[in-house]
Structure 1
Amino acid sequence: MAGFIMLIISFLFSYITITTTLSPDTITLGQSINEGETVVSAGEVYELGFFSPGKSSGRYLGIWYKKDVEKTVVWVANRNTPISDSSGFLSINAQGSLVLRMNSTNDIVWSSNASTTLLNPVAVLLESGNLVVKDGNDNDPDNFLWQSFDYPCNTFLPGMKIGRNLVTSMEWFLSSWKSIDDPAPGDFTFQADPHGFPQLFVKMGPEILYRVGSWNGLRWTGTTQLEPNPVYTYEFVSNEKEVFYTFDIRNRSVPSRMVVSPSGDVQRFTWIDRIKSWSSFFTTGQLDRCENYDLCGSYASCNINKYPDACECFKGFTPKSPGEWEILNWTEGCVRRASLNCNHSDGFLKHEAVKLPDTSNSWVDNNISFAKCEKLCLNNCSCTAYANSDVREGGTRGCLLWFSDLLDIRELAANGQDLYVRVAASELEQLSEKKRVIIIVTCVVSAMGVLVLGWIIFMCKRKLRIQGKL
């Protein structure tokens, strides 16, 4: 009898071992992942297990790149609740919840909190780095009961989303670690704001530090460096169900990721296999001061090439506080020299090659022709400016209107857009008069120049004739 029992135990042990060997990326009902054990994605790109960050003695459940000897962590389950010893284990229950417990006390440290009973609940670490809970062999992403991609930490991976589900109100955003030793949510976030025309922000708490800008069909208006490249592709989606930004890598052997650092910098890294290390592709820490949100206040633009007077009021506007402006404090911005009449006598001044203003209080229609945009703005007393919302195909379609003060604008050397700012008719007349004066003066100066040049040529020829006679 004892021999029979040992045979059964040996068989079960062999079955579990074979199952684990055949599915190293999967946790099934009755299985658990303990300290020293890991789950590895099918292509061995990502690994899930326990780790201690930096100098911390706390234990966390996380996902990292398997081939990176530094174990660069991309996701952490128990960010706020470290395990104080090595007794943690992860399992999945019949309700489809991932549960992280401590063996020493059996206390629940973290749970994915699913509530739907599945026939065959399994957790799988996908090749994308997404840890998902699903029913058996159902691989339809729409049927996933839970996924780690819905709860990003400080890292933006290919296939993740930054944005919001407008149906469920679920928001996808990055939050920095408190420090390199503490993965708890820090002060900085990288998120999409769906109000008005959607745009991306880097924030410290509620304060906006950096605005990536709104989407113009090709790129975010504030990111001139975002261009088609051999490493990754990118996409922005906005419809009645969701608004999000995502990216994908062109070559799975060249991983790329974005990270919000504990100091608030947004960095993109690309893996260089030759040196077995990450190379910094881009960081907001290298941006100039014109990228500081709303540096110049309302109705003013920032030009990094003008030092120290980086800020300048738009034509038709003047500093609200001239004294502060003189000491390089531009925060109060500029005000109109002449009030709008709110009739068809108002007009627009074109400002070329700029980062478009904050679109939190804006309206967009990508389906109408841009030619109708000026009239739409002029017919609404609250409209302060307009621009093209989609620059693809020559920018013939798409209208973006602003209905508040214009904030956070800068001049761009490349990939800037044209902004049409509403001004009173008197301002247009003054500018028109100035243009006439400039044209007249230019013509007079040009005419005098021609006369002087003609006289010089005449005198030279005369001198040559005289010398020839001699």
Structure 2
Amino acid sequence: MGRFFVILVCCLLLSTLTNSSKPAIINPSQSVRDGETLLSDGGSFQLGFFNPANSTNQYLGLWFTKSPQTVLWVANRETPFTDRFGVLNITREGILILYSRSSNIVWLSNSSRTEENPVAELLESGNLVVREENDKNPANFLWQSFDYPCDTMLPGMRLGINFVTRLESSLSSWKTSEDPARGEFSLLLDPNGYPQLVLKKGNKTLARAGSWNGIRFTAQTTSTPDSISTSEFVLNEKEGYFVFGITSLGFPRLTLTPEGIPQRSIWNDRTHQWQFVEIAQLDICEHYSICGANAYCQINNSPICSCLDGFMPKSLRDWKLSNWSGGCVRRTPCSDKDRFENYSRMKLPDTSSSWYNKSTGLEECKEICLKNCSCTAYANLDVRGGGSGCLIWFGGLIDTRRSNGDGQDLYVRIAVSELENIEKKRPVDKKKQAVIIASSVILVLGLLIVGVISYTRKTYLRKNYNSEERTQDMELPWYDFSTIGHATNNFSSSNKLGEGGFGPVYKVNRSLILVQTI
């Protein structure tokens, strides 16, 4: 029995040595080896070595403790270990170094400065940081993994660019589900013009989430508040970035799959699984510049592409063949007498060739655009509180679509001579048309009812009037000839009053008539 107990203890000790968790912090005298992990203070995240499914390659990665198979960040994604002898150290200069059994450096971090007592710490947010031992201020971190994301964005992680250091943080897909090396797809904030979120395959833009309008990216077709995460966009002289934060509903993440599909999910503690809450569905109108320049896409139209008012297909032949890539061109040359046509519910065009000013109002924005013939459109920069700021486009308007839901107002430059033709061709708004028809029907019915009432009343009055007349006529007394003769003394000349066109007129002795009648 004693021998069995000794063997059991040895087995437990061996298990502990081969797979142990260290505190969240290591210093230059410590390291992390295969079978060991760093555990964040709250236990939510772990950092250690792993092998992808069906792969013998080894990597240093970071995962969600409740879902160890979900790797959120990889250090040596391009240079894997082919054995299980990797080691992670931090130097006295504050550099993280990952090296092999033969002491070959496989991966290392960087830093713009050094500290006296650097340490590496895995934070409860999932951020691996290098800092001075007694300084926990994020602004003073020497290095952090959040600046170098892989395929996953976590709450608090920034997607954007630092204009001072030129450091860009973007998502890049895994090559395959078994190979964390950088894949073909990336999700990044394009800093040219007014920054916008774009999805790329290599150097080719596949789709745009659009620019930030104060509430959401303009490609989003709903203004319903996001119950999964809170979004924020920051843009100033030093940096521009997008970030989302955690809510009480759970821990969210944004992942770019090896197939180039952005998807958001949230950890469900009840089912112990990631629950997908949004998977990007790219319809044909989301394909970048599907309609070419100066045209817009509307998914429920046939054809889906239409030239903006005042523009015509650059190649009519191609346009009729549903090849819209050539886009549209103005029919009338630009002038300072041009006007602006308002398009509502729009995903704003590509902003890489735009100019913006946060303090300029919409009316001033219009005047600035009108003075420059290369200016083709303008819009509010921020839609909150009735709108503010100025966003101006130069050159062709690319990758614009119209939505049946929410969108933004876009004011497109157009020649005055085109306005009259547009008004003639413009279809009547269905709602307005329905109101006009309903009003006309109500008016006709009203007139008809009034007419019937009037006719009925007149007929009733006429009937009653004739009836009264007849009644009055019937109430006149009737006398026979002998009675009249007696009352006029047999028509004596002494009773004669005169004579007219109707014959002689006699005076009647009424008392005699009454006596005779009785």
Same fold (TM over 0.5): yes
Which blocks of at least 5 consecutive residues in structure 1 are unaligned?
Answer: 1-16
- The match for 1:422 is 413
* 2:28 maps to amino acid: L
Deviation per residue, 1:211-250 (Å, 9 max, x gap) = 0111111111112246423321111011110010111102
CA distance in 1, matches of 2:447, 2:171: 72
Pairing 1:283–2:279 present: yes
- CA 1:81–1:337 in 2, change beyond 3 Å: closer, same or farther? same
Pairing 1:383–2:375 present: yes
Answer yes or no: is the 8 Å Cα contact 1:355–1:409 preserved in 2: yes
Answer yes or no: is the 8 Å Cα contact 1:96–1:115 preserved in 2: no
- The match for 1:298 is 293
* 1:52 maps to amino acid: N
Query: Match for 1:124 among 115, 121, 125?
Result: 121
- CA 1:86–1:418 in 2, change beyond 3 Å: closer, same or farther? same
Structure 1 runs (4+) deviating above 4 angstroms are 432-438, 444-465
CA distance in 1, matches of 2:438, 2:386: 36
Query: Match for 1:92 among 87, 90, 95?
Result: 90
Within 5 A, what are the aligned runs for 1:131-280?
A: 131-225=128-222, 227-251=224-248, 254-280=250-276
CA distance in 1, matches of 2:440, 2:348: 42
Deviation per residue, 1:109-159 (Å, 9 max, x gap) = 111134744321110000111101111121011211111111111111111
CA distance in 1, matches of 2:114, 2:189: 33
What secondary structure sits across from 1:100 in the alignment?
strand
What secondary structure sits across from 2:61 in the alignment?
strand
What secondary structure sits across from 2:36 in the alignment?
coil
Mark the structure with the bigger radius of gyration. 2
Deviation at 1:456, TM superposition (A): 7.1
What secondary structure sits across from 2:358 in the alignment?
strand
Answer yes or no: is the 8 Å Cα contact 2:41–2:123 preserved in 1: yes
CA distance in 1, matches of 2:125, 2:224: 23
CA distance in 1, matches of 2:251, 2:155: 9
- CA 1:49–1:238 in 2, change beyond 3 Å: closer, same or farther? same
CA distance in 2, matches of 1:400, 1:139: 39
CA distance in 2, matches of 1:321, 1:431: 21
Within 5 A, what are the aligned runs for 1:416-455?
A: 416-432=407-423
* 1:399 maps to amino acid: C
Answer yes or no: is the 8 Å Cα contact 1:97–1:115 preserved in 2: no
Worse overlay, 233-242 or 428-437 = 428-437
Deviation at 1:454, TM superposition (A): 8.5
Answer yes or no: is the 8 Å Cα contact 1:219–1:227 preserved in 2: no
* 1:276 maps to amino acid: H
TM-score when scaled to structure 2? 0.79
Worse overlay, 409-418 or 232-241 = 409-418
- The match for 1:338 is 332
CA distance in 2, matches of 1:437, 1:110: 65
Answer yes or no: is the 8 Å Cα contact 1:123–1:132 preserved in 2: yes
What secondary structure sits across from 2:69 in the alignment?
coil
- The match for 1:34 is 33
Within 5 A, what are the aligned runs for 1:314-353?
A: 314-341=308-335, 343=336, 345-353=337-345
Deviation at 1:180, TM superposition (A): 0.5
Pairing 1:61–2:60 present: yes
Deviation at 1:328, TM superposition (A): 1.7
CA distance in 1, matches of 2:420, 2:404: 30
CA distance in 1, matches of 2:114, 2:194: 40
- The match for 2:404 is 413
TM-score when scaled to structure 1? 0.86
Deviation per residue, 1:160-199 (Å, 9 max, x gap) = 1111000010101111100001000000000011111110
Answer yes or no: is the 8 Å Cα contact 2:194–2:356 preserved in 1: yes
* 1:203 maps to amino acid: K
- CA 1:32–1:298 in 2, change beyond 3 Å: closer, same or farther? same
Query: Match for 1:374 among 366, 370, 374?
Result: 366
Deviation per residue, 1:387-412 (Å, 9 max, x gap) = 111111111x2111111100111112
**Aligned-residue CA RMSD in angstroms?**
2.9
Deviation at 1:414, TM superposition (A): 2.5
- The match for 2:72 is 74
- CA 1:45–1:436 in 2, change beyond 3 Å: closer, same or farther? closer
CA distance in 1, matches of 2:192, 2:76: 31
CA distance in 2, matches of 1:356, 1:204: 22
Deviation at 1:371, TM superposition (A): 2.1
CA distance in 1, matches of 2:396, 2:423: 25
What secondary structure sits across from 1:197 in the alignment?
coil
Pairing 1:362–2:354 present: yes
Deviation at 1:429, TM superposition (A): 3.6
CA distance in 1, matches of 2:359, 2:451: 65
Worse overlay, 353-362 or 286-295 = 286-295
Identify the structure with bigger relative contact order (alpha carbons < 8 Å, sequence gap 6+): 1
Deviation at 1:431, TM superposition (A): 3.2
Deviation per residue, 1:375-434 (Å, 9 max, x gap) = 111011211001111111111x21111111001111122220111100112112433566
CA distance in 1, matches of 2:65, 2:440: 76
Which blocks of at least 5 consecutive residues in structure 2 are unaligned?
Answer: 1-16, 464-518
Deviation at 1:464, TM superposition (A): 9.0
* 1:78 maps to amino acid: N
What secondary structure sits across from 2:265 in the alignment?
strand
What secondary structure sits across from 2:182 in the alignment?
strand
What secondary structure sits across from 1:384 in the alignment?
strand
Deviation per residue, 1:341-392 (Å, 9 max, x gap) = 2x1x111111111101111111111112222121111011211001111111
Worse overlay, 77-86 or 366-375 = 366-375
What secondary structure sits across from 1:61 in the alignment?
strand
CA distance in 2, matches of 1:437, 1:249: 46
CA distance in 1, matches of 2:49, 2:427: 74
- CA 1:230–1:340 in 2, change beyond 3 Å: closer, same or farther? same
- CA 1:447–1:139 in 2, change beyond 3 Å: closer, same or farther? closer
Deviation at 1:458, TM superposition (A): 9.2
